[in-house]
Structure 1
Amino acid sequence: MGCGAVGIAAVCWTEPASASNVAAGLGEDRELTVPTWLTLLTGGAAVGASAMLAALVTDRRFVDALHEWDRPFPSVSTRSSRVLAIGSVLGSVLGLTALAAVIIVGLEGPAMPTANLAVILAFVGVRALLPMITFLVVDPWPTIDPFRFIARGVTGILDRVRGRERRNTAQTGTEGAKSNAASKNAAILEYPARLSSWPAVLGLGALVWLELVLPVTTDPGVLARVAVGYACVTVVGAVLFSPAAWFRHADPLAVLFRLYGAVAPVQRQDSQFRLVVPGARLRDESVVADSSEVAFAVLLVWELTYNGFVVTTPGRRTVETLVATGLSAHVTYLALLLGGFGLALGLYWLAAHASRRTAPTYRSERALARRFAPPLLAIAAGYHLAHYVAFVASLAPASLAALSSPLAPPVNPTTLLVPGWMGTVEIGALLAGHVLAIWAAHAIAFDCFPGRLQAIRSQYPFVVVMVCYTTVSLWLLTLPTTEPVYVAG
């Protein structure tokens, strides 16, 4: 199951150029009627103005009251154990069924991407729709994650085998009990703490790149084999290092959904679902734990920018220029991915460095970078919605047809024509994410700095970075799209 807008491209339309439009978050031949310069000016001004308005809110009690407000769901809290148990079982069945469908239908189903349930589930479902559900409602991934379910099952079997062996060799009842307790959920290897979540960063980057250079959206069989490979790597890793450590740090999908879930208005706390203000949890310092998760948050923003860039005319020309120097297409796309990510990450760390100068503090640059990273998740959420809301809507009839008849779908799946005003919705979603990020950064600043003026001044560098992100994102949305060159067909 890949991660990348360009990979989704071939799913949407039969012609590559049309597919590229969807990959960029745009419908076919749909251009914004507002001039580009006016769009960029308005977007940048909106983010800047929201920062100025947020700066006027200096009442810490009001900020605390807004972010600490929550309400439990009575129907869940009253019988939480039973509801959660049933939901867990249903979610596990759903996830395992979906994974089986991706593999079986990918190998045995129709060759046409928009008619193949495997492609629909992987890209319309996991890539586009599930993240929307995660940051707009609640994170469902821990419940439906099939890889987590399989890994826990394998780990449980191994635990029982190890426990039986220890009981057979125990000399006393006490020694046997201790050995059995120690073997429960024990990992074969200890997860290296120094790795933090860097394996997840590497994994997400690899998925983005592989989805672009492999024909996973045009050849369902390739997609099925990739899904099997991902499942094997994930389950083996979880068994070796324990499911808790692996899915907390190393699995890119688990980390992606966990971070996106921090934006959601429904949060799970102490086996109970609670309604909160959207984005309120971004203020929690536990959301982003270290520098590796700072990098992951930046990568969530950059991978969407990257996928939008490579299907524009400037992106196409950049790729062609680099390939003309002698680089292979695969290396070129990888270099653009890594180079742009390095630039985006460096810009963010530069903002953290500048923040210590605009608001002198005893806090380290690393600590400030970690604390101000969660607002990037709101930016990524807005950008994701802007990219894929039209894509999901246009493929809704084809998705329903594939679900109703996986092995014998209609020969010509129906796709909806996206109206022109959808471009305004996309820009609105993108700006909403940036405005939410501005407010979250404002609340975080008042947590980090005791003085009001100091808290406001600390935000200046991060606001500049957010305005830069906004401008680049809006610029990409205003550009006409083209077919990405040298990709697998």
Structure 2
Amino acid sequence: MFIACLFGTQALSAHAFGVRYQLDVPLYYYVLGAGLTVGLSFVIAALFLKKSATPSAPIRLKLLDLDGAYGWVVSGARWLCGLVGVAVFFIILTAGFAGEQSPTRNIAPVFVWSIWWVGMVYVQALVGDVWRLVNPWRLVFDAVVATLKLGPFTGRLTYPVVLSRWPAVAFFWLFAWLEQVAPFAEVPSSLALLILVYSAIVWVGMFLFGRDVWLDRAEIFSILFGFLARIAPTKIEDGKLWLRPLGVGLASATPLSRASTVLLLLLLATVTFDGFRDTQVWADLIEWALTRSWLFAPLFWVQQQNIDLRLFFESVGLLVVPLFFFVSYGVIAKLSALLSDGSYNTRSFSGQFVMALLPISLAYHIAHYLAFLLLAGQLAIPLASDPFHVGWDLFGTLGYRMDVGIIGIGTVWWVSMAAVVIGHMYAVYTAHVMAVASAKSHGRALFSQLPLIVLMVCYTMASLWILAQPIVQSD
């Protein structure tokens, strides 16, 4: 059960409790109600948020002057955060290679898949850009450059413009495949080797093209966490720490590149597939494929290559679902451009309004992984006291045992539903703010948004249905 709790997702919250949440009304009431709520939020925004009401500059409050009287405290805090980030990085590597090879009794897989991947998304979006302070690849590279006295290091080569952020797109798909499909990614030594290989790629990339260039163009986690930090209520700018409304950093008049657009769509598509494969529909699709005579030969060939059919189908699904998202969003962008009367073309609309989908990705991440974080994350409590299994009890938590009752199955459902609905409503608001700020007229802004709003309403209902399948029971 602990392996299932560690490497499963939403479905496993139900498995851990041994029950499903009984809804008091049919599921489709919730699904339709959520869709109507999101649609109504667009109507309200259209009525009350006009172009004249759109602020020219976001409201923000200065919290701290980082270079002021307390600059030494800030510098010390930065140094401490960096030290913690690098220390954790090497602890994870060492434990992965030398520690016990059980996924639930080794801190490497527990930390990477629950604390770091799930938790860091929440921290970046709901607190601020903490990753920049603890990024071990950046800090280790800086330390080596300083030790070797290389001075301002800008790399040896010019990064090819044609590559854009496509390397990051490829890295993220591979990361999603490792997280959701690959069985060896839960083995501590294999995971440590993967981390080491990726670290080598990052450091070589920094050496060849420069630290900042590689982090901005190819290092997937710096790019992705940077996007999520745009949602956060804090931002460091001009040597000051600012407090701002949630999500204000999403609105931008500059369209993203094609690669960045694909990356944000891929983020949403991969987490959606992770939920979809827990549904009966996915199981039925696999059964359908296995009973098609015209698929017998290719599937038999796959088995002859010693490829597990489950891994094969999930790998195919992880390709097909993102392609479906790309095509759907492309059609929506084309329709919206046609309705905008020249305010946008397909390229500019897709690159600009994809940022409005980021709150949806965050919402689904919360709905899909919160129970996983609260359950599997508990495994890190005793492991933190003895990461190498040598008998330490550094923090007095070695005897801690997992509490599966930390979150109830009913709470999982209601949090999931609230996250999905609120995330979509904020996405509608963000899209409307961007539209009224850049369209030729308020009317054109409304018309151009209609296809995107329809997409958001449909995804609200679809995602809520997917989330409900493994955890609720409805008459």
Three-state SS of the structure 2 residue aligned to 1:74 is strand
- Letter paired with 1:313: Q
Instruction: Calculate the TM-score normalised by the size of structure 1.
Output: 0.84
Three-state SS of the structure 1 residue aligned to 2:21 is coil
Unaligned runs of 5+ in 2: none
- Alignment of 1:428 with 2:418, yes or no, is yes
Q: 1:21 to 1:207 in 2, by over 3 A?
A: closer
- Alignment of 1:115 with 2:102, yes or no, is no
CA contact (8 A) 1:128 1:388 kept: yes
Three-state SS of the structure 2 residue aligned to 1:333 is helix
User: What residue is the counterpart of 2:275 in the other structure?
Assistant: 308
User: What residue is the counterpart of 2:462 in the other structure?
Assistant: 472
Structure-to-structure mapping, 1:202-351, within 5 angstroms? 202-216=170-184, 218-285=186-253, 289-322=256-289, 325=295, 326=299, 327=302, 328=307, 329=309, 330-351=311-332
User: What residue is the counterpart of 1:399 in the other structure?
Assistant: 380
Q: 1:193 aligns with which of 153, 161, 165?
A: 161
Cα deviation digits, residues 391-450 of structure 1 (max 9, x gap): 222234322221122233858841332312221011101211111111000000012113
CA contact (8 A) 1:191 1:241 kept: yes
CA contact (8 A) 2:278 2:469 kept: no
Cα deviation digits, residues 262-297 of structure 1 (max 9, x gap): 1111112123211111011111235x6311111111
Q: 2:9 aligns with which of 6, 11, 22?
A: 22
Unaligned runs of 5+ in 1: 1-12, 164-183, 482-489
Q: 2:371 aligns with which of 390, 395, 400?
A: 390
- Letter paired with 2:2: T
Q: 1:103 to 1:53 in 2, by over 3 A?
A: same
| Cα root mean square deviation, aligned | 2.5
Shift of 1:56: 0.9
Bigger drift between 319-328 and 185-194 goes to 319-328
Three-state SS of the structure 2 residue aligned to 1:446 is helix
Q: 1:255 to 1:406 in 2, by over 3 A?
A: same
User: What residue is the counterpart of 2:59 in the other structure?
Assistant: 69
Structure-to-structure mapping, 1:4-43, within 5 angstroms? 13-14=1-2, 16=4, 22-24=9-11, 26-28=13-15, 29-31=19-21, 33=23, 34-43=25-34
CA contact (8 A) 2:93 2:108 kept: yes
User: What residue is the counterpart of 1:416 in the other structure?
Assistant: 404
CA contact (8 A) 1:263 1:278 kept: yes
Q: In structure 2, how many angstroms separate the alpha carbons of the residues matched to 1:315 and 1:80?
A: 56
Q: In structure 2, how many angstroms separate the alpha carbons of the residues matched to 1:464 and 1:310?
A: 24
User: What residue is the counterpart of 1:175 in the other structure?
Assistant: none
Structure-to-structure mapping, 1:79-94, within 5 angstroms? 79=69, 81-94=71-84
Three-state SS of the structure 1 residue aligned to 2:61 is strand
Three-state SS of the structure 2 residue aligned to 1:363 is coil
Shift of 1:68: 0.8
Q: In structure 2, how many angstroms separate the alpha carbons of the residues matched to 1:237 and 1:32?
A: 52
Cα deviation digits, residues 143-182 of structure 1 (max 9, x gap): 101011123334556672xx7xxxxxxxxxxxxxxxxxxx
Three-state SS of the structure 2 residue aligned to 1:112 is coil
Aligned length, in residue pairs: 445
Q: 2:47 aligns with which of 50, 53, 56?
A: 56
Q: 1:401 to 1:378 in 2, by over 3 A?
A: same
Three-state SS of the structure 1 residue aligned to 2:157 is coil
Structure-to-structure mapping, 1:129-208, within 5 angstroms? 129-156=119-146, 160=150, 184-208=152-176
Three-state SS of the structure 1 residue aligned to 2:193 is helix
**Percent identical:** 25
Q: In structure 2, how many angstroms separate the alpha carbons of the residues matched to 1:357 and 1:213?
A: 39
User: What residue is the counterpart of 2:333 in the other structure?
Assistant: 352
Q: 1:88 to 1:394 in 2, by over 3 A?
A: same
Shift of 1:21: 5.5
Shift of 1:111: 3.3
Three-state SS of the structure 2 residue aligned to 1:113 is coil
User: What residue is the counterpart of 2:438 in the other structure?
Assistant: 448
Cα deviation digits, residues 45-94 of structure 1 (max 9, x gap): 111111111111233343317x6110010364644643442232112111
Shift of 1:134: 0.8
